[in-house]
A and B are shown apart, each in its own frame.
Chain A
Amino acid sequence: MNVSSLSNWLRLDRVVAPVRIDRPLSTVEIAGNLQATTTSVWAWYLLGPERWSFKSLADREATLARLTHRWSRLAGHQIRIRVSSHPFDAHDWRHRYQHATAHPLAPVDGAPSWGDHLDAATARLAGSLLDEKVVIVGVRLGARPRKAHLADLVDRANTAKDVVSLVSARREVDDVMAGQGFAASALSAPMMSWLLHRSVALGHNPPDQPAWLPAGLGHDDVISFTGPVEWAARPFSPTVSVRTWRRGVDTVRHTAVLTMGRMDDQRFPENGRAPWMLFADRFPFPVEWSVSGSLVPGVEMTPVAEHQLRRSQEIANHHRQHRETPAPAVGRAIGRAAQIYDEVTEGDDETATRFVGVIRLAVTAATPDECLARCRSVIDAYGSTQRMEICHPRGQADLLREFIPGEPAARTGYQRVLPVAYLAAAMPNVSATVGTPTGPYIGYTCGASRRPVLHDWHWPMERLDASGLVTLTAGPGGGKSAFVGLSAYESALRGDDTIVLDPSGPLAALCRLPELAGHARLLDLSGAEAGTLNPYGLVPDPVIDGRHNAEQLRDARRLAASERKQLVLDILRMLLPYGVQQKDGTDEALSSAVRTVGGAINANPWHVVDAVRTGGHNNVAELLEDAAEMPTGRLIFPDHRNQVDAELGSDANLVVITMPGVVLPDRDSDPRQWTEAERLAVPLLHLAVHFTSRFIYAKARDTRKLVCWDENHFFRQSGSGRALHQRVARDSRKVNAAVIAASQLPDDSLGQGTDGLATAAFVGRLEDEAVARDALKLLGVPQDAGYERTIMGLSRTGSGEKRPGEFLYRDIFGRVEKIRIDLEAHPRLLAALDTTPTGQRQPTRTGRSDDEAAA
């Protein structure tokens, strides 16, 4: 019989079999944010978010100083910091988003509907590792009163000495926690319940906390937290298995608790490292934190510091007694001990206060092996990047218990003694959250952590009375067009009026998507049908909606007719060569002809040409006929001389105007030197701009509109384009029109004089450092702080691999984060908007169209 079989026969393995660990909670009562344990009363608070990314060094130092001050104000209290996360509630988002969409497009057979679109986005959100961080701080108020309940602290009815003392302590702590830096709020009853559920079963989804949850929980209610949870571990096991039975589902997760060892001396924030607790957000799995200890004021630290100083000196003296030179570490320790003594005796509260306690991290996985692998990655990353030693001690069950609010924490082993500034440098409440509280899901943050990003284009106008102008800047291949396409698609599918001006043309694919095709109109200015831009049809008649009386309606119609006549006059003048325009009599001839034809919506420009000829100005009429034969002129003149039936595009939800190949003259060039193509392009763009203007201003003021200017610089070349851009940017709030101004260079946006109106900005990858520096202005990020390199490194990995769609995003509140546009939920849309050249020759011989080939 060998040792193994003997061991089996003796069942020695059973001695170390996993043991169920049953330990009752110390919590005996909960009232609001107050928790009574068997010995103490704690108050729990939810920390407010703090900005860190893309701030200047001075701002970061100010943030650190603010937090240091806030922590030092809690000196004399025991504290607990619990950092946890809960998955983004995709179903709640879906419900709210659907509720905010009153009139989505009607579904089309065989094409994804609005509901399908929402389902896909919801599935994407629910299936991604996108979570929301929760930072909760507990402060011990004092010993638990013997003959009072927590309700007495809330009601303040009990006048017993210990209760009054606790009430006073609570008021003081409330004030400190609500101050700048923490911006904390008292933990609500559902959140308190959530925290206990989450902490008792780390790695498991806590059950939903109903809003009607009573604020008070008694001793018997506390059992509900531990009842469906079972911990089990082998002796000296590196992990603890946590098993839950919730909603009829039995789940087992394995949790390992790590603890903070030696921490490097550092100059922060100058060293550029992330705050040390925030760093854990970068891991591709959730990391829970529990910090338990005391904030010891300088007065109480003095004897300790004195002892350490004497001890160091005694060690040195002892060596000298033996005529030996002490190790250099002894000298350093004496110097440091003297400095600590000086800090705690002479320093102010921020300098003197020390945190004394333990710092734990918990990692969870489905299997012990996976859990240990995650532990290794945490230990490695912290060691190499943050220069902090993370240890994996034994006694896991006791360590895990420290994560539960109110449970005792170890007072020996891995005790950290830190100046309070070092604790403040952890900054667990730094938030990567950007965007609007509601709205479409556009992507996720990909900097310090992963958070979903929602951006409602109309939120600034409808909620904040702010402008709806958003700038979008990225170099070629930065994902600009795909983002504009996603926004236009989402907006159109929601039933909002959407117009896209895309000079180069790839966004025309939106109009071919079956779900939008019935509600979309494509105006291709280089290849549309003759008469598409008939100026008379561009100005619709006023809508009879019951809000106007007959006289007002008559006035509105008269105005529309006048506008048509003015537009036709302008366009026909532009079609004439510069010399003819300047010639005496030309304007009179055109004006007379336009007046003769009138301003009816169904009028035909050919009627004006005929009227010019009738007026005896044959050369002007012939020049106009020549222009009408040009490809661009055909768009203005129909191929017949009858009355035109309908107005243009008034019923379409989505209008995409493209003009591939159209060349505009340089804005500073002499009109006499313009080529024929350049001269004819000017009225075309003028008409396109006018059409856009009508699309925005002719609709009801409250109606949501989205205007997407792709390649903004193109429109900047024409006076009418610049004028409309500025007008819409200034009027966006009044007409509820969100404007996306996309361009390849930041100057294209900044030069418009409307940069001050932009309430949000997206900046993608830019190659040139000077250009990137200019783009920082759009983001409101300090220049020359190294962030130019961040812009230049977007959308590209270290190996040179492209990851398009990365942007720096400044939201309406001025928060800046690195985000990635997420089109994974909509592969059809992604394929339709993909502008990356494949290098494949199109199969033209078979006569198949590009779309068929792509299919």
Chain B
Amino acid sequence: MAELRTDDSVRRLRAVWLGPEGIRLPVDWTYVEWAGFLALLAIAVPFVGITAFVLTGDAQLAVLGALPFGGLIAFYAMRTSMRLVDADRPVRYWRRTVAAELGQLRWGHGPSDHPRAIVAVVAAVICGRLIVGAFPGPRLFWFVVGCADGVLLTHLAFFQFQPRARAQRLELARAERTPASATTVSTTTVTVPEVSPALRGPWEAPR
């Protein structure tokens, strides 16, 4: 019988871009790493520039510092994130996984509670606008502060004062703590000393 081989070795081959012909770049990055770096650079540079400008009010400093510091941040962010990316876990896999997992965050008391998330965003914007009008100084800074206040207030409103969500959380927490032999019948919890052989799965018997 011939050797059994998967097609993995070909798919796993790193497609490295060394630079345009005649110019050897100092790093051996794959095309995906280059793409990730450029994408992060596009986010990090404006972020650093705006932050520097908001904090210092010095536009020249913000422009000069944005590229090197933004590039540094993008570089490390790319190196860190690309450790998780390979042939088995491409970027789209992470995008799908993270989206699925974040979809389970309790923005309210259920995964499909999108209206509450919308309320949080609207509340943040309203708060931002109010605070910008109330305080002098950099308008962007106060807007960001106002948005953060809005998110915080919405969060507290949802999670500190939600009896229904609290009840469900307690129920789930209790379910996690309940051992397999403890059974709940209607609303009464009773502990059964031994599960009937007819009901017991093979996993419940010591081998």
* Residues of chain A at the chain B interface (Cβ within 8 Å): 10-11, 14-22, 61, 64-65, 85, 87, 90-91, 122-123, 126-131, 203-205, 232-236, 241, 243, 245, 247-253, 261-263, 265-270, 284-286, 308-309, 311-312, 314-315, 318-319, 321-322, 324, 329-330, 332-333, 336-337, 340, 354, 364-367, 391, 393-395, 397-398, 410, 412-419, 421-422, 425, 450
Contacts and interface: CB of A to CB of B under 8 A. Distances in A.
Taking residues whose C-beta sits less than 8 angstroms from the other chain, chain B's interface range is 35 or more
A413 B172 contact: no
A470 B152 CA distance: 79
24 contacts: A10-B152, A14-B169, A18-B176, A22-B112, A91-B197, A126-B198, A127-B205, A234-B104, A268-B4, A308-B7, A315-B14, A321-B18, A321-B21, A329-B13, A333-B9, A336-B9, A393-B89, A398-B97, A413-B97, A414-B89, A414-B93, A418-B6, A422-B4, A450-B207
A250 B179 CA distance: 10
Given A235-B105, A267-B3, 6 more contacts: A14-B169, A19-B110, A245-B184, A286-B202, A329-B9, A417-B8
A649 B13 CA distance: 81
A324 B3 contact: no
Contacts of A266: 3-4
Contact of A129 (B5, B100, B176, B202): B202
B83 interface: no
A233 B104 contact: yes
B101 A318 contact: no
Nearest to A324: B18
Contacts of B90: 412-413
Given A17-B172, A252-B178, A413 B93 contact: yes
A208 to B, nearest CB: 9
B180 A235 contact: no
Given A252-B175, A413-B96, A204 B101 contact: no
A450 B6 CA distance: 31
B92 interface: yes
B156 interface: yes
B169 to A, nearest CB: 5
A265 B5 contact: yes
Contact of B18 (A11, A245, A318): A318
Nearest to A246: B199
A262 B89 CA distance: 12
Nearest to B93: A413
B163 to A, nearest CB: 13
A123 B111 CA distance: 44
B2 to A, nearest CB: 8
B106 interface: yes
Given A130-B202, A417-B11, A90 B110 contact: no
Contacts of A285: 203, 207
Nearest to B172: A18
A205 B6 CA distance: 36
B4 A284 contact: no
Contacts of B169: 14, 17
* Most chain B CB neighbours (cut-off 10 Å) among A130, A131, A234: A234
B173 interface: yes
A418 B100 CA distance: 28
A547 to B, nearest CB: 46
B16 A20 contact: no
Nearest to B103: A235
B24 A366 contact: no
Nearest to A329: B13
A61 B7 contact: no
A391 B204 contact: no
A421 B15 CA distance: 29
A308 B13 CA distance: 10
B133 interface: no
A64 B9 contact: no
Contact of A414 (B14, B24, B88, B92): B88
Nearest to A206: B201
- Binding site of A, secondary structure by majority: helix, strand, loop or mixed? mixed
Given A126-B198, A308-B11, A322-B24, A261 B88 contact: yes
Contacts of A393: 89, 97
B64 interface: no
A311 B1 contact: no
Nearest to B174: A252
A186 to B, nearest CB: 27
Interface in B75-116: 88-90, 92-93, 96-97, 100-102, 104-107, 110-112
Given A204-B201, A252-B175, A315 B15 contact: yes
A262 B111 CA distance: 34
B100 to A, nearest CB: 5
Contacts of B159: 10-11, 14-15
Nearest to B17: A318
B27 interface: no
Interface in B11-38: 11-19, 21, 24
Contacts of B134: none
A340 B6 CA distance: 10
A309 B152 CA distance: 54
Nearest to B185: A248
B172 A263 contact: no
B111 A18 contact: no
A227 to B, nearest CB: 16
B120 to A, nearest CB: 12
Residue of B100, B169, B195 ringed by the most chain A CB atoms within 10 A: B100
Given A232-B172, A308-B10, A332-B9, A205 B201 contact: yes
A17 B106 contact: yes
Nearest to A338: B10
Contacts of A395: 96-97, 100-101
Nearest to A247: B199
A249 B183 contact: yes
Contact of A232 (B155, B175, B184): B175
B111 to A, nearest CB: 5
Contacts of B176: 18, 232, 241, 252
B105 A15 contact: yes
Contacts of A252: 175-176, 178, 180
Contacts of A262: 6, 8, 12, 88
Nearest to A333: B13
A243 to B, nearest CB: 6
A81 to B, nearest CB: 17
Contacts of B204: 366
Given A11-B159, A14-B159, A252-B178, A419 B13 contact: no
A235 B104 contact: yes
A336 B4 CA distance: 12
B106 A250 contact: no
B104 A333 contact: no
A394 B165 CA distance: 25
Residue with the greatest number of chain B CB neighbours at <10 A, chosen from A20, A391, A397? A20
A529 to B, nearest CB: 47
Contacts of B207: 128-129, 284-285, 450
B160 interface: yes
A21 B101 CA distance: 11
Nearest to A234: B104
Contacts of B18: 318-319, 321-322, 324
A400 to B, nearest CB: 12
B152 to A, nearest CB: 8
Nearest to B205: A127
B3 to A, nearest CB: 5
A336 B107 CA distance: 49
